[in-house]
Chains A and B, each alone.
Chain A
Amino acid sequence: MPKVILKVENLYKSYGELKVINGISFQVKQGETTVIIGSSGTGKSTLLTCINLITPPDKGRIWLEEMEITDPKTDINLIRSSIGMVFQHFNLFTHLTVLDNVRLGLTVVKQIPKDRATDISIEKLSLVGLADKINSYPAQLSGGQQQRVSIARALAMDPKLILFDEPTSALDPELIGEVLNVMIKLAQSGMTMVVVSHEMGFARAVANDIIFMENGVIVEEGDPDTMFHHSQNPRTQEFLHKITELYGGKSE
């Protein structure tokens, strides 16, 4: 019975009057990929940033394995170094080379000696297919390449869980494929992932669980087969229909 890596319980977050997250609970088991879908602005990104407390939630509890993230006594930096995050706009450190970008977290946060850190970084960069770019700067790379560096940066920290916040939404269409390929490989190798995305092909290919969020709550949840073909909720059907029309059933 695979253990639960991430547990979110009764999460609430409001910005003034706006209730962005209005009572969300779900779990992700080890090795599983959960894809979160929903219209823009329904709090999906906020949900991800709440998980590593970048955005502190108003109410609710979150666990990473047995450690409670929301417990004020927990070392949040320790938790964050075990959760990887990949952003829509890559957020690479513009003043550092690709190698330094991947290596920085290892040397500064995990205090790993430079040689070892370099080895790990190059290994992860090879995994995402960018070993030849280690001395380039982010501005010299395409969007797809930058995002792959971003994934290598998260991987290098040997995380228990990686959160992806619309990783391909800011990419030109031709570049989306290279990033999704890396993500699919990652999912198939057993990484636990939570992905906010519109890429239905990706969801159909590797998701164990799809969560449809709207107005701050989970409208429906289920495995891809159920969600796409036997959904109970008309709103889910409507959304999936629209999304599949727009984005097609892209899968690689």
Chain B
Amino acid sequence: MDQLSIIWQGLPSLLSGTLVTLNLTFYFLAIGFILGIILALGRVYGPIYLKLLIILPFERFFRAVPELVLLFLFYFGSSFFHINMSAFMAAVLAMGLRSAAYQAQIFRGAIQSIGKEQMKAARSLGMNTLQSIRYVILPQALRLSIPSWSNEYAVVLKDSSLAYAVGVTELLRQGRYIVARTFGNALLVYSVCALIYFVLVFIGNQILKFLEERYKIPGYELKEKKEQSVLERI
């Protein structure tokens, strides 16, 4: 079929787009991870003014404002403030910070689920806060977070398609180019893109599930902390 050959010929473009998508996803998650842990630790163990003045507003802002708006703010904001930033970079910052806000919540839940007792035990052995966090709290918290983190992975991967809006040539944009170049069947091309996303999400989830099984602490499960207010939950 003529349409299928368009897909076949477009595969290299789609593949390059997929690589960009994966690249974006990696950076989003990485920034989100590092910053997320810092925010979570800051919120649980830090002084209260840190929590109220910096961490809470940050989380509230980046969770309440839609991803697309964040993207635009960073992309157009960079030229507004005369900072030279590529579209890719703007996307990474916007989505990375957003992921940090969500991952902070995941890690905070895990840390609080482990409880104060473990911290007390570590301190009574003579460890300072930093050592206790590094050797006792974090290893457990990270393991407990894997299921929720799988969810975040899926969300971030799918949201990477938004980078299209600021011109990043990720998977969806490559699809657009193919349709434009070849007057191809848009339905088919975009469905193929959707399929690729689906496969990526699926494979990622499988890997994370494997990691979850492998590193599970026997007998320990994340207790779902019932957040009372809606704003805390979103």
Asked if the two chains touch in their complex, CB atoms less than 8 Å apart, one says no
